[in-house]
Amino acid sequence: MSEVEHVQPGHLLSEREATLRTRALESLLLEKGVLADGAVDAVAGIYENDVGPLIGARVIAHAWVDPAFKARLLADGGRAVKELGITGIEGDHLVVLENTRDVHNVVVCTLCSCYPWALLGLPPRWYKSYAYRSRVVIEPRTVLRELGLDVPESVEIRVWDSSSDMRYMVLPERPARTEALGEAELAELVTREAMIGIATVST
């Protein structure tokens, strides 16, 4: 899916301005010796790909192996994640949505890019794009297919709109034939994309 498809000019302009200001600030900090070259990208990469997604993956894996925890997670996500030592304002407003054979959940924020950073790390660029935010609520099956996930017609797709008051995370289906895997091994299978709902978990 193109990130510029159906994007309003005003939205693009504000993003462009933000990008230019960020680059200018980074250049100034590099010039003054406050930052080392590549430091910002390195830190952003850690939060985008490692720290955040690993925390969310640990929650998912624990839910897969502990039915009582799973029930608490689905009933009150914010309270349940605190049991695992995950705290912060985002956890207080967390709702966890379970994918099943009959229902597939996908998360979006149509107004901006509200997102459970503490659990999933930095939001991917496509999640913040106007194209994703505007289209997934109207044609979710098509958008998911464009992103590489073909949801059968027999499966209901539910789109959940995050806000500053409510953040959503998807509890993906546990893959088949993973009974012998431990919790840590299961966590390694879980991706950020699966916890947003644009992918499934596979072995």
Query: Which residues carry out catalysis?
Result: 109, 112-114
47's tokens: 């939060």
CB-CB neighbours of 196 under 10 Å: 26
CA 148, 154, 155, 158 torsion: positive or negative? positive
Residue 168 pairs in a beta bridge with 95
Tell the residue number behind the tokens 């044609």, with chain if given. 139
